[in-house]
């Protein structure tokens, strides 16, 4: 199938990662390559970095892109950990022109959620599933009976007078040199807040910090089923490719 092997790109505040994905199995077909997110992360600079990553793969074809913003019809309506110049800018048009490939875009946490619900621990799970990606910020993906509720952005809820991700992200843990106990208690506060809003049946934790779950699990004392996401850092890449295939199939 021509649309079975698709390049998935996960755009983050510190790095842009990508690999060719078999969207039937969720398996990566190439090494996951990474380029640094330029600083400042303006549209022009990020387009150049995106094109560099595509060129490294020697790839021509459909590309799926997870992007750190509220994304509607391929346009960034917010900008998290990237330049505010992205607000109102078409991600699809900017990256398509830079790479000379058709691009489909969605929120980066939503991309990770799609992958985890298709190939990971969320597969076949009914009810309310909340995935939290923990990295430069806190991303969220919400599913009700397997259906995505897009662009939830629960990392921007106000906690202690500021965005929750400023209080409890992995970037904050590193910048403030927090112990696992101190950070775990902060993250527990955040989950308790999210619980009051959506009352999920299952919470999955994604991002690189998910592999350290055993170091902070004991500090999560809320009455929720919380598990580290099984696809970890690959989820965003896989989900971006899945989204691109879904969007193309809607056209036929």
Read off the pLDDT of residues 111-135 as tens digits, 9 standing for 90 and up: 999 999 999 999 999 999 999 999 8
Rounded to the nearest angstrom, the gap between the alpha carbon of residue 137 and the centroid of all alpha carbons in its chain is 10
* CA atoms of 209 and 109, how far apart (whole Å): 15
* Residue 136 pLDDT: 85
pLDDT exceeds 80 at position 250: no
pLDDT exceeds 60 at position 251: no
Using a 10 angstrom Cβ sphere, with 0-12 exposed, 13-18 middle and 19 or more buried, the burial of residue 213 is: middle
* CA atoms of 128 and 145, how far apart (whole Å): 6
* Residue 242 pLDDT: 97
* CA atoms of 226 and 228, how far apart (whole Å): 7
Tokens matching residue 233: 């850092």
Band (170; pLDDT cuts 50, 70, 90)? very high
* CA atoms of 87 and 80, how far apart (whole Å): 10
* Residue 249 pLDDT: 67
Band (103; pLDDT cuts 50, 70, 90)? very high
pTM: 0.94
pLDDT exceeds 70 at position 175: yes
* Average model confidence (pLDDT) across the chain: 95
CATH class of 5-110+234-250: alpha beta
Do 124-230 and 5-110+234-250 have the same topology in CATH?
yes
Radius of gyration of the chain (CA): 17
pLDDT exceeds 50 at position 71: yes
Please state the CATH superfamily assignment of the domain spanning residues 124-230 in this structure.
Answer: ATPase, nucleotide binding domain (3.30.420.40)
Whether the link from the prior residue into 40 is cis, omega within 30° of 0, is yes
Domain range list for the chain = 5-110+234-250, 124-230
CA dist 37 to 41, 47, 175, 226, Å? 7, 10, 18, 30
């Amino acid at each position: 199938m021509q649309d079975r092997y698709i390049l998935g790109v996960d755009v983050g505040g510190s790095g842009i990662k990508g690999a060719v994905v078999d969207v039937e199995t969720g398996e990566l077909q190439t090494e996951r390559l990474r380029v640094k997110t330029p600083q400042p992360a303006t549209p022009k600079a990020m387009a150049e970095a995106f094109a560099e990553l595509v060129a490294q793969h020697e790839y021509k074809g459909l590309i799926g892109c997870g992007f750190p913003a509220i994304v509607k019809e391929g346009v960034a309506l917010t900008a998290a950990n990237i330049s505010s110049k992205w607000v109102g800018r078409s991600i699809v048009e900017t990256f398509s022109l830079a790479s000379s490939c058709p691009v489909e875009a969605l929120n980066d946490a939503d991309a990770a959620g799609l992958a985890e619900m298709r190939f990971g621990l969320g597969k076949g799970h009914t009810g309310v599933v909340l995935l939290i990606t923990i990295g430069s910020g806190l991303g969220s993906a919400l599913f009700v009976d397997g259906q995505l509720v897009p662009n939830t952005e629960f990392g921007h809820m106000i906690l202690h007078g500021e965005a929750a991700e400023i209080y409890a992200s992995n970037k904050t843990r590193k910048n403030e040199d927090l112990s696992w106990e101190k950070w775990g208690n902060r993250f527990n506060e955040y989950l308790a807040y999210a619980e009051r809003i959506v009352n999920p049946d299952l919470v999955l934790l994604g991002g690189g910090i998910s592999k350290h779950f055993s170091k902070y699990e004991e500090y999560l004392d809320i009455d929720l089923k919380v598990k580290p996401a099984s696809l970890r850092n690959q989820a965003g890449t896989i989900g971006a490719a899945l989204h691109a295939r879904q969007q193309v199939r809607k056209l036929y």
